[in-house]
Amino acid sequence: MASQVNVGLLVPGSFRNAPPKMAEFTEFFRRADQLGFHSLWVIDRIFHEINVLEPMTLLTCAAAVTSRIRLGTSVLLFVFRNPVQLARTTATLD
């Protein structure tokens, strides 16, 4: 009996220099969806020595340009976020 393997991508989210333009992320998300990847995952870091992009903003961008791919955070540091605002943000994204 064959089973389906779901393959996801961890979205690059930390950069030593300036991050790519949002248009480049948009194209990355579109291509991942078109190529049949199951999911996209973003990281969350609050205190880090290099540039880390805000995960909910990246997921919102991905949701706007994809149609079937699943979206998620590999880590979400909710203890450093206002719980009401986080709930509102995730509900809006959903």
For residue 60, the surrounding DSSP H or E stretch is helix 55-65
Alpha-carbon span 92 to 90, nearest angstrom = 5
Q: What is the pLDDT of residue 79?
A: 87
Q: What is the pLDDT of residue 1?
A: 64
pLDDT per residue as tens digits for the range 17-70 = 888 889 999 999 999 999 999 999 998 888 777 777 888 999 999 999 999 999
